[in-house]
Amino acid sequence: MARFVLWGTYCENALEKRSPFREEHLNRLTTLKKQGILITLGPTEGSTHVFGIFEAASLDVVRKLLEQDVYWKEGIWTSLEVYPWVQAF
pLDDT in tens, 34-74: 999 999 999 999 999 999 999 999 999 999 999 999 999 99
What ranges make up the beta strands (E) of the chain? 2-10, 38-43, 49-56, 77-85
Flag whether the pTM goes above 0.75. yes
Reported CATH class of domain 2-85: alpha beta
Say which DSSP state 88 is in.
-
Per-residue model confidence (pLDDT) at position 87: 86
CB 76 within 8 A of CB 18: yes
- Give the C-alpha distances (Å, rounded to integers) separating 28 from 11, 13, 38, 67, 88: 20, 22, 10, 13, 29
Give the start-to-end residue ranges of the domains of the chain.
2-85
